[in-house]
Amino acid sequence: MDAGLEIKGGEAIARADTAAGLRKKELVSIHQFHEFIFKADEHTEDADFFYNAEVLSVLQKNVWSYVSCTGCSQKVDKVGNALRCNKFVSPSVTGVVRYRVEIAVHDSHDEATFVVFDNQMTKLTTRTAATLILEDGNGGTRDE
């Protein structure tokens, strides 16, 4: 990945999404988030977390994009010359390139690594993963 994946302003507000939706908007530190995770058990309810953190770097050693099913957004497998989705069993699955980026962040006290997926990364970079691949020319994906 090149500098074309620069995050505007160097700041990001990350949120842990849950199916239950947003219950309380509250800015927390990375330390407070870690405390919540370490104290959580099977009875702990889902929660959303907001961080005000500076993006230190994009961790380029890991795959930064993947091909997903246009129907369900799950990663597809390449079988011969075709794509296969484990959720939608169909002979004609269409794939689209999506972001899966690991970023190192710092909130003035602690550091953490966040995985940022397609919609959030598109908002941060103002470009889709497919557009970035076309601009960059090297693909950005690796076979697993």
Please write the tens of the pLDDT for every residue from 26-65.
788 888 888 888 887 777 776 677 778 888 888 877 767 8
Backbone angles phi, psi at 111, to 5 degrees: -120, 155
Mean pLDDT of 89-97: 81
For the ranges 10-14, 41-45, 56-60, 78-82, which has the lowest average pLDDT? Answer: 10-14
CATH level 3 topology of 3-136: OB fold (Dihydrolipoamide Acetyltransferase, E2P) (2.40.50)
Each residue's pLDDT tens digit, 101-118: 888 899 989 999 988 888
Count the Cβ atoms, other than its own, within 10 Å of residue 64. Answer: 22
Q: Is the pLDDT of residue 140 over 60?
A: no
Q: How far apart are CA 136 and CA 127, in angstroms?
A: 12
Q: Which two tokens stand for residue 80?
A: 């011969």
Q: Which helix (H) or strand (E) holds 131?
A: helix 129-136
Cα–Cα separations (whole angstroms), residue 96 to 6, 34, 68, 127: 22, 34, 5, 14
Q: pLDDT exceeding 70 applies to what percent of the chain?
A: 72
Buried b (16+ CB within 10 A) or exposed e, 81-101: eebbbeeeeeeebebebbbbb
Helical segments of 20-125, H only: 30-39, 118-125
